[in-house]
Amino acid sequence: MSKDIATPIRTKEILNKYGFSFKKSLGQNFIIDPNILRNIVHHANLSEESGAIEVGPGIGALTEHLARAAKKVIAFEIDQRLLPVLEDTLSPYENVTVIHSDILKADVRTVLKQEMPNLEDVMVVANLPYYVTTPILIKLLTENLPIRGLVVMMQKEVADRITAKPGTKEYGSLSIAIQYYGTAEVAMIVPKTVFMPQPNVDSAVIRIIKHNEPPVQVISEDFFFEVTRASFAQRRKTILNNLQSGLSHGKEKKQDIIDALESCGIEPSRRGETLSIVEFGKLADSLYPFFY
Ligand code: SAM
């Protein structure tokens, strides 16, 4: 087995060799602690028959741990300057394909079909670029990809919001947007000191395991998400007030909204943060006929 990329000494050697300078705008904070990487990979429960998709391999620190644990790794990297670096650092691993692409523009489904045609168990494992955490998660969850789930590092504050339960101050439309697709939990908290350069914020790794079926069946997913977003627009307002101001023509439909809330057994004076995903699903379906 070759020497870990992620030791501080080897990372510095690689950066110097290529004269690489970090781009803050691309969220480039590389991990320089092999133990953290081993733990991240452990939380993904990969087997020798698994596939792993990585977003942003950087200089390959996490990629090589994935290459050792899985049958095949596909890594999407936006920064062209890192391609020759990865070619060099990952040369001992034959099971890695690096794709030069913005993950948000990539056709991940087609790439998976081409690169991992026979793998039944695929996980996304990544230390995400923090400036695009939410769009990346939403893309990977809504495209109905054949993946078991995701183990991803992000800003701790975002991890807390994603995994929050009803009734807490972190619970909001982001918690619902993600938990609609999977069960989300914080797997580990990660100190700033394991990154180069050190970020200004604390980090956490979360694990999302996709549901086979959503927790609630709704008439329209788009309208369900519209209702949840409207319900949290102003946290101090009641759900009735938020729906009136957040849904189109809501002001004129006050009585319809009250009727829909009451038909679901939801007091109009409750706040959005007290409603579960199932309650939001029922509410969206009761409101639907009044808005479409
Ligand atoms: N995986 C490496 C590690 O853990 O040390 C690097 C992680 S660093 C936080 C994020 C990586 O994502 C960088 O390599 C950056 O260039 C890349 N990146 C940023 N935006 C991206 C995007 N939209 N698509 C693909 N990669 C991106």
Q: What pLDDT shows up at residue 105?
A: 98
Distance in angstroms (rounded) separating the CA atoms of residues 257 and 46: 47
Rounded to two decimals, the pTM is: 0.96
For ligand 1, residues with CB inside 6 Å are: 26-31, 55-58, 61-62, 76-79, 82, 102-104, 127, 129, 132
With a cut of 90, say whether residue 119 has pLDDT above it.
yes
Q: How confident is the model at residue 107 (pLDDT cuts 50, 70, 90)?
A: very high
| Position in ligand 1 atom list of the atom nearest CA 129 | 10
DSSP E strand boundaries for the chain:
30-31, 50-55, 72-77, 96-100, 121-127, 149-155, 182-190, 195-196, 203-210
**CB atoms inside a 10 Å sphere around CB 246:** 20
Q: Whose CA is nearest to atom 6 of ligand 1?
A: 58
How does pLDDT run across 32-74, given as a tens digit for each residue? Answer: 999 999 999 999 999 999 999 999 999 999 999 999 999 999 9
Distance 288 CA to ligand 1 centre (A): 40
Q: What pLDDT shows up at residue 1?
A: 60
Q: What pLDDT shows up at residue 3?
A: 83
How does pLDDT run across 167-220, given as a tens digit for each residue? Answer: 999 999 999 999 999 999 999 999 999 999 999 999 999 999 999 999 999 999
Please state, rounded to an integer, the average pLDDT across all residues of the chain: 97
